[in-house]
Amino acid sequence: MGNFCSKGKASVDHKTTPFHTRKYSIPDESKEEKGLPTPTSSTPSSSKGGARAVPRNSDGGGTGKDTDSRPSSLAEPTAVPASSSWKGMVPNVKVFTLAELKSVTRDFKPDTILGEGGFGRVFKGWIDPKTYAPAKQGVGIPVAVKKSNPDSDQGLREWQAEVKFLGKFSHPNLVKLMGFCWEDGQFLLVYEYVQRGSLDRHLFRRGAEPLPWELRLKIAIGAARGLDFLHTSEKSVIYRDFKSSNILLDADYNAKLSDFGLAKLGPPEGDSHVTTQVIGTFGYAAPEYVATGHLYLKSDVYGFGVVLLELLTGLRAQDSTRPSYKTNLVQWAKPFLNEKKQVRKIVDSKLDGRYSIKGATIAAETIVKCLEGDPKNRPGMDEVLTALEHALAISPTDTPKDSRAKRLVGSGQHNRHQDINRSPLHGNHNGGAGPSRINSS
């Protein structure tokens, strides 16, 4: 679902945007996920209101086949399931009716729109905190409702993946899925409302207040905890689309990973990787994955390194408005990351010198490890987390202007694998300005 990143059709996208990057042509994934019902519309696949099968790629990109020995996390439509079957699969979330969600969002009125992406629009609504029944505006708890775009080729697949993963996991650093709906050919997801929106808005939006250094480390630590939880869960999960626009921030700037539409089960025991379609976001996707389709748990670690570099520099991973030598952040910044004196040259100037050079150096060293070309040489997320916690510990807040960071860094702390999820998905208002998806449709 791309967290409101704009999407294009198959083949190379030539649409010009401020941050235009190339989109790759990808075939579809067609294996059926065992145990998870797959809804489909009774209308023909070509009709606008129903789910549509993603066409095979016709320009030679990709292999046209998913060779993962496990079932794909994104299944083809098969049959309409009963609501009760969904409840049995994901008992911790509510199955809403379309009528209920119309009431929750005041019939999807334009003034409730939080954002819009390839999957569709996101609306703000209100529900009763105990029963999840629709509530009046301003009463109860706020929620974010994602409503599928009838023109979205992969809406069904990504909706299904969201339900599969977020419906079963609970962690303070993962956004909470509260419910879902499939009705009249529409796919909807109901999330907790995360007040401060996505990290990329705070880093890159013009006029945004700069995030203090300690707060940046706190956000990185929270995101690392979420990713570590996924990698070390009973059935390891590869997030596959780790980027700053998919990291949401609550009122206390606690990071929550969102958008599990591309998530995939990790490799079976004894295997190092799964082989699958190349799909993700240009600038964040690991090089071995883009080149071969081989997806490792440590492919996520590469993406984490890119986001940590964005936090260090205040620059987007990919930005065609910058000089050509600086368009790709990783390529430009790598030579500066190995020496303390060089690191100073690339630290975000908006910090105005208010950061710990020791902490920044540890962050730079961690980035270098995460961006290793060979995934075997990248650290695990537990090692990354330990390094960042050390960087924060030696990064004291010692100026009056950083009092906000001092207060917020100490808030919302928790154990790495605490399995509760609090705090009220917020839309991304960047209007799609940012790296493009390496997309199958």
- Catalytic residue annotation: 241
Q: What is the 3-state secondary structure (H, E, C) of 422-433?
A: CCCCCCCCCCCC
Residue 359 near residue 402 (C-beta atoms within 8 A): no
Amino acid at 258: S
**What backbone phi and psi angles, to 5 degrees, belong to 264?**
-145, 145
Give, to the nearest 10 degrees, the angle between helix 213-232 and helix 381-393: 160
Separation between Cα atoms, residue 64 and residue 176, nearest integer Å: 33
Question: Could you tell me the sign of the dihedral formed by the alpha carbons of 400, 405, 410, 411, in that order?
Answer: positive
DSSP of 353-383, one letter per residue? T-S-HHHHHHHHHHHHHHT-SSGGGSPPHHH
Q: Which residue has the tokens 């004291």?
A: 396
Strands 177-183 and 94-95: parallel
Separation between Cα atoms, residue 380 and residue 239, nearest integer Å: 14
Collapse the DSSP code of 191 into the 3-class scheme (helix H, G, I; strand E, B; otherwise coil) and give the result.
Answer: strand
Separation between Cα atoms, residue 97 and residue 227, nearest integer Å: 32
Separation between Cα atoms, residue 73 and residue 230, nearest integer Å: 15
Q: Which residue has the tokens 């695990």?
A: 380
